[in-house]
Chain A
């Protein structure tokens, strides 16, 4: 701030006389009282001094001067401080303060960095700001009037940067003209080389008028200025400074304001000619004139002071408001940052989770464009198809993982086109795919269209599951089924052949038997003429054998039909009593022949039932014939009863009975139980087996109770209302 020096000097000429006088008085005071005061408990306060007129500077006479000096001297006097000035540069002063070599440094703005190194009092001494000065006729009133103007700015200074920022904030196009010092700037402004000049407000206030310049409303970069003390203020100076400042700032006539006036606008007063002052001082003649001048001046000064005070207040208020806003904005920003960090973290977790899910899912996950270009493929799919991400991303799915033609011959190129065209139709779709090594695989796909906000197709998301094994198993199953079908057809045709064979055999066997049985029968009836005893006996044997052969053929036929499932039973109403009586009647001759009692007891409720008459009669005849056959003496008794929905017909005999161990094989085909006697009974051994099977077909059953040597009871249980099977 050396630039300020010259101007200050010039100004100081005016006060030279006053200062000399004052210096003299102070010298006297020091001579008479100084030693005494100094020896009292006065505290030494070392104050850094540097050149920054009018705030702080060394006068021509080498005495520290300026607003800050006036104030600290005022306070020192009242606090009994012994001030010791330490001149130096601004930087030296701060260094010394940091090292504790001085106690106070005037005119220091608070910054974060300085707060770490120094301590500050609370009530600001001055507000400083930068201000633009222009000629009275420039017409510049506000910042907006600076648009397109040439403005002188101190070269490479903080002001330059601040002013540029400030003007850009208003969107103005200003031509800055860098100048080396304030003095030159004001000279240029006065000449009209520039439209305005930017200086700090103190310099401007002190010098603008002498250049015919006025201050404008263009004010920026305000800062508060304080005394800085050594860190933690070891001499406890700051509190005293605040105390005095608060009192000083309340009273507009206080030395504080006097100092401000003196260093900022006293030049008005100093326009009064020097000779007049000297004259008044030496002669004291023009006292009245002087008094009148003083009054005028005082009014002018007061008005100026008020103005300054107001400006100061306004600036302070602006700083407070701006600081508050900044703090609010800062707080908001902090919470926003915190919020964003939280969201980001949640997003990261969610993203990680979904990525894991997609990458490690046991499904093929693909994204591809409508043209078929692959844009995403998950890890599983890469491994599955054998392509690396670099190999496949950006490639068309046709020719990479989708073969052009399926093994079945289906054209898959058009399929891809169709999937992109009609998402719904191909939402779930199975087709053949191909691995990098050429292996064909089957994949069941789920295709989904991904749209943007306007509903335009962006990509297709396809999720696939490898179903090759399933498809193969299905094919195997189909083959097996086809084979089974063939086998079934073969079996059915074999069955038909068997039926045809049985029908033929039945017919072919019966035809000759018809002759044998028929003619022997006729001969035995003597229709062919008389027979002698031997002829009759032998013809009887032929007749019986042929009957037996017929039974055998019939039984074999029945068993075959039952086992082939070809024996169908009918279901029609018939009189069961009539059938029983018919069977009894036809069996009577056999019983009579053996001389055994043959009787029946049929309950009166037994009448018409629904079943297969012929088969029921066949069963009854079989049971009765058996009973008679195995009974040598005693009885065969039939008893018919109704039990609930069933008819129960018991055929009880007093025959040889059945051994317990033979019960299990009793109903097996071709099994005739050894009687234990020397006698071998006639019979095919198929009768009971057929009876049991027929009874089942009719919805009933055959049961047996027997005691070896005492007889047996066979029970035929038959539903009254048999269903068609």
Chain B
């Protein structure tokens, strides 16, 4: 049985795409479509990796990352930001909020899995 991955993403198509790729590669995928729900799922499931969109309803990705890092139960879970926020400082902001990595949207289907697995291996 492969690892559990929590995908927090509000865009239906993107969520479907990521979920599809991950499941095709044999991972157990859980989803949440807003920040608050994401935090709750993370606490419940204690996934092996979280893929986190930044622009989210209710609570944005930066706040979610900070929240998860502040909570001992979720502090150790690797978080990879997946976002189309490609402006200056986005990457730094994500890292400083507690993310371990950063994957720019649109994702490259050829390299996406290897980038995700880079962080899983680090676990």
Contact = CB atoms under 8 A, between A and B. Distances in A.
The answer to whether A binds B is yes
Interface of A: 499, 502-503, 506-507, 510-511, 513-519, 521-522, 524-525, 527, 550, 554, 557, 561, 566-568
**Interface on chain B toward A: helix, strand, loop, or mixed SS?**
loop
B87 A518 contact: no
Contacts of B110: 521, 525
A397 to B, nearest CB: 63
B84 to A, nearest CB: 4
B29 to A, nearest CB: 14
A518 B17 contact: yes
Contact of A522 (B20, B84, B85, B87): B20
Given A499-B87, A527-B20, A568-B88, A517 B13 contact: no
Contacts of A522: 17, 20-21, 24, 109
A518 B85 contact: no
17 contacts: A503-B87, A506-B84, A510-B86, A511-B84, A514-B105, A515-B14, A517-B107, A517-B109, A518-B17, A521-B109, A522-B20, A524-B109, A525-B110, A527-B21, A557-B86, A561-B88, A568-B89
Contacts of B13: 514-515
Contacts of A568: 88-89
Interface string B1-12: 000000000010
B84 A510 contact: yes
A519 B21 CA distance: 9
B108 interface: yes
B106 interface: yes
Given A517-B108, A518-B17, 18 more contacts: A507-B55, A510-B84, A510-B106, A511-B105, A514-B13, A514-B14, A514-B106, A515-B106, A516-B106, A517-B107, A517-B109, A518-B21, A518-B109, A524-B109, A525-B109, A525-B110, A567-B88, A568-B88
B27 to A, nearest CB: 14
A680 B120 CA distance: 44
Given A511-B11, A527-B20, A518 B88 contact: no
Interface residues of B, number: 20
A514 B84 contact: yes
Contacts of A521: 108-110
B107 A566 contact: no
Contacts of B107: 514, 517-518
Contacts of A515: 13-14, 17, 106
Nearest to B20: A522
Contacts of B88: 561, 566-568
B113 to A, nearest CB: 10
A428 to B, nearest CB: 51
Contact of A506 (B11, B86, B109): B86
A410 to B, nearest CB: 50
Contacts of B24: 522, 527
